[in-house]
Structures are given as C-alpha cells and as structure tokens.
Structure 1
C-alpha cells in the first residue's frame, strides 16, 4: 500500500539534541535513541471508516514532530504504520451505510492520505494494510498456538463445525517471558478490566483462561470476511492486536525506539501488541511506549461513536488554512487532554499572521543572524524536552513580535522542526 507524498524538510545548520520523550512503561522521560543511526518508529494507524478527525491529526502531528527532531539530530528514521482495514467497527459501519467494507476502507484511507499530505506530515516508509499481510498474521497466530502462548476456545457460532477462536494466554506468557500484564501500561487489574470491556475485549467469554486474555484469531462466521489460515487455527480473520505486532516486527525488528499512538491505545491494544511480539520473538517490544492525549469537543472526548467529530477534511473544505490547523494542534502539549473550541483556529490564524513577516532580502546583519541562531538553539531545546511544541510557539511569538523581517534561517527552522511553511 502506498502512503502519501513526502514534504520537503529543510536541513538546518548543525544538529539538534536527541529528543527525550515520556515512556509510559517507565513513567519517566527517556532519550529516544537510534540503533546504529536508525530510529525505528511504529505508530498505530487508522481504522478507516470515518477519517480524519482532530484527535487523529493531533496524534500524527505529535509523532511527526518526533520524526523531524530525529532528522534534525542526524538520524535516519524508519517509520511504519498500519491501516486496520478489517475490524468489527469497519464492518459495522459498512453494514449500517450499505457500502461494501472494502470500498469504505479504500475511500477513507484515501481521505486520510489527502489530510496528511495537506498537513505536511512526513509519511511512513512502510504503510501497511492489514489485509495485505493476512498470511503473515495467520502464521504468527498459529505460531503462538504452537509455542503454547495461545489456546482455542469453543465457538458455537463458527461457520465450520468444531472450529474454535484463538485466544492469547496472558498468564503463560507472563510465566515464560519477560512480559507481564501491566508492564507497558502500569495499570492495575480493575483499570485494565474496565478498559478491556470498553475497548473491544470480551471478559465474560466462556472458556477463556483469564478474563483479560484477548482474541488473536477469529474463525470464520457466516456473512463475515475470511481468509485461509493454517489448519491448526482455521480460516478466519485477525484479532486487533496481533496485526500491529506482526507489522512492526516485520519492518522494524524488535529493538526499535518508539511505539506510539493515542492514549486510548495504552490498554489493551499496545499492551497486547507488545505481549504478542515478545511471545513470538522472546525480545521486548520497543524501547519507549509513547502516547498522545485525547482531544474533546462539546464536552466529550472526540470519538466516532459519539459523533462529535471535527474533521480535518471539513475544515479544509470550509477554507481553513492547513497551517492554521497545524498551529492550533501544536499549541497544546501532545500528552495533554484538551478541548477544541471555535476559538482555536482564530488564535492560530492570528499567530500565523504574526509570523508572516518578510524574509530579509539581503544578508542579515550580525545581530540579526545571532538572534536567529539563538532562536534555533532555543527551539531545539524546547522541542527536545518531550516534544514541547507550546513552548516553541511561545519562543516564536516573542521573536516575531520584536522584528519586522527575519533571516531565511528562521523560516527554515519553523518549517523543518514544526512543519509550517510560513511563506
């Protein structure tokens, strides 16, 4: 699957520091370091049935900022992202709207690509649809069963008599590997149980060994999409978490730097993506587990189920400059939960106007050049401290509030580090 065009990213003088980012698994800020000069990044992609709202955009801008800081630090970035183009919510929306699920997934993925292009988000090198790697996923599911890290559960409504769903064995994995429940999330049992029930889990499923064991492979049901699979697990389709495990390990290996996504993925999705990968490889999954906060609207978290979505595409259609959208999102720290209001684009538009001073037509004077160099150093410092975009924007506010024109270096820095091309 193709991603979207890569924006031009200016190369700045010197190199920036290695960014530090909050690791959910340790509860501390840690340097997001490369391995042999390559920084691996996996960010969970969309389930394409209603893309792209500002909550999505906020997450992808956060990790775009990390990507840009790595590039500025002299790293090569290997970035992978999935598209969950087969899952219950997608099938439910397709049924409700009378649209074939494949057509729905394709149209919404195309819309997502166009939004990311407009927002000048650096694309992943590996943009992978789940339906393109079903064979890899089913093989991994069968391997989990063979290794004793998964088990079969009676499934009366299976299409084929005697076929059974495959579930992950959390307790056996905790006994035999370095992974255990709560390792990545640091949540207690009650919190995990509550979130598991809310986010696609089935704690009351008869036959499970542990209430928090997640589905790995769903055997075929009548009227549902299905794919061929090893005989030990039977034809069917993947569970949610195993897809990211397989795609990440395939394209990034086991020692990549950051697994990222929204904070609503901390549990169960990221917890079990890491668990499946560790069970399959015997190695920990990613060094840092990083998450963006939730964006609310009209008093509730922005979500497809509630319908309180502010779509990037609708803002674009209404004439909102995508630089304004980007500035509105970057004005909030990526880990914070915040509420979008109609004043956000107004404030961002005023900010963009303030930054739109002319570029110096001649070689800048020494004081002007030194001020630009100092600004670049300050921006690098602010951003490398847990992706501190609000602090970086305040530095720019102060700078542009004091000048009538600026050296090209300043505009290149804003472009390279924050993805905003002022001119």
Structure 2
C-alpha cells in the first residue's frame, strides 16, 4: 500500500508556519521535514552549518547508486518587518484561488509539492533517483548549499541534473546574473567642525567614492549586454546603505557603505572594485589626508553569488524543457543557488511554479493553479525517472 502524505497545501501550511527569516534558525522546519520523510520510510541527511544553528537536508528516493535529479529549494525567507501584511505572514491564508504567506512562492511551495509527491515517487519504482535538497541562507549569501555540494560524489550521490525551483512560472531559465557584494569602510580622524584642518572627514571621502560608483554604473550601462538576453540589458552597480559620523559638528571618523555588482555573462565583477580602489588611491585618500591626519579606505568582499551560464543541451536543460513543455529558455534578473551547483560542474537550470513578481512583498502569494501546474511538472519527472 502506498503511504499517505499530506497534500501540497497542507505541507505548505506547515512550512509557512515556521519563521525562517535568514537571521533565524531553520532547524524547527528541518525537524518537521525530517519527521515527515521518516514517517514515509525515507532516510534524510542533515548538513549543519558551522555553528549548528541551521542545516540543509538531503534525501534520495529510488536507487542510491545512480546520479539522478536534484530538486533544490531554500528554506529561508526575507524579513516581514515594516511590511503592511493583511494577516499574519506566518499563517497560510487561502483565499480567491491564492495561498498567502511569507515564503509561499519564494519558495516553500516548490518544497511542499516535492514532499507531497514522495509516496508517488516510492510507488513508481524509480529507475533514476530523485533527490530533494533543502538549503538555508539563499536570501543572504547563497552559500547554504556549499557544504552539501561538497559531499556530492563522496557520501552523497553526485546528480546528473539539478532543478532549482525558484518561481519562474515553470519557464526554464538557463542564465542569470552574478551578484557580488562589498563593504567599504572609510577611516578618517575626528575633530571639531569649526577646525576642519585638524581632522579628516570620512563622510566626505565616502561621498566621493559613492559618486565614483555612480559614474562606474554608467560605464557598465554603456557596455550593455553582449548576449542581448537580460533585462535590464547591462551589468548594474548599486549602493544600498551608508552610515557615518556621530554628530553634525564633529568631523566623521568612520563611514561605511554597502554596494553590489550584478553582472551579465562576460563581466568581471571584481573590475569595479579594482577601479574604485584605484580612484581611492589616486584621488580620495590624498584629499582625505592632505592636512597630515591619518585616513584610509578598505573594501571587503562580502558575498559572491556566481552567475548561471547558458549550457545548451545539458542534461538539466533537456530534461526541464521536456517536463515543462517548452522549446526555449529564458533568463531571470535575480541571483539563485543555481550558479553554485554549476560552478561545481553540475548541470543546472532554474524552473519552479509561481511568479517572482509576488515574492518579497507584503501578502506574498502563489496561486492554487500554479501549485497544480507544479504538481503536474513533478509527476512528469516521476514518470520520466520510472521509464
């Protein structure tokens, strides 16, 4: 007899109920999924992070001596603070053909669909295994998959194809931009604002650097997108936050700003940091220290999310196009964990139910129709892996 598993909507309700904002532990959610799988007789492997406060989860349905297909999704979600939700974001609300909740579309529905179909995978006597992988920290670093990837081909199976289930409306995305983020710290020297020659103003220096990044953003905009596939059609440079100083009448000792580069294929994202450092050395630091007081500029790489490069005819692309009933691929403007898999030699695409337009906003939702389309997609995968 085939074991009974909750419906996708019932599992989604449980997954949404766990507050897995990236600043929090995801272990209660992992406990739930581990218990759910265990009740179906499926062994899962936890891969904890360094401090043990978070974990990825990996399980296999079908043969354990073949590569198979990974269905990969992240468990973390973006914060809800400051957003005007109609109802509790961690209580799933089903209304007018939509399921509302934080993470509903990005991307707990994908995980819920996969988990709900485990009994069907078991009953199908798979000849090619299906692996389900849940990760953490995708919304902040996209590094929560790395420890699990490192074990593939060792004590975990090395897959033939990876499908990352970010919401693409079940279109097959074979490319996305890279995301490289930096922290720049400007160090000056405090003094009374009535005697500016007795100090070095870190805020002024940081403002000059931010202005230079604005100029560089125009440089990369003019270079455009050689592939002609991305929207916007260029690599972007953006400053997100800036903090500095202690009072209006004190020359600021330190100023810190965060910035990023989102690069189209063919872009050297580190080039912007090199150009900024050159400008700092030539222009900003000499001006900052012109009165003989100490001053410096330090730029630190924070996050490096690799781009997903087109890989025409790969096992992942060929499979996903067939399952989705598509004959062409798309690009997506956001970063995903797909680039991490590809960087490690694993054929990978991005394809999942729902629209990214509903993600990261108050009253995030996925339509019930999209959930059903996701179920149909995975049932085709089950049939394919059974043949």
For the pair shown, which has the larger CA radius of gyration, 1 or 2? 2
Query: Which of the pair has the greater relative contact order for Cα pairs under 8 Å at 6+ separation?
Result: 2
Q: Same fold (TM over 0.5)?
A: no
Give the TM bin, normalised by the shorter chain. 0.3 to 0.5
Q: TM-score, normalised by structure 1?
A: 0.30
Which has a greater percent of strand? 2
Which has a greater percent of helix? 1
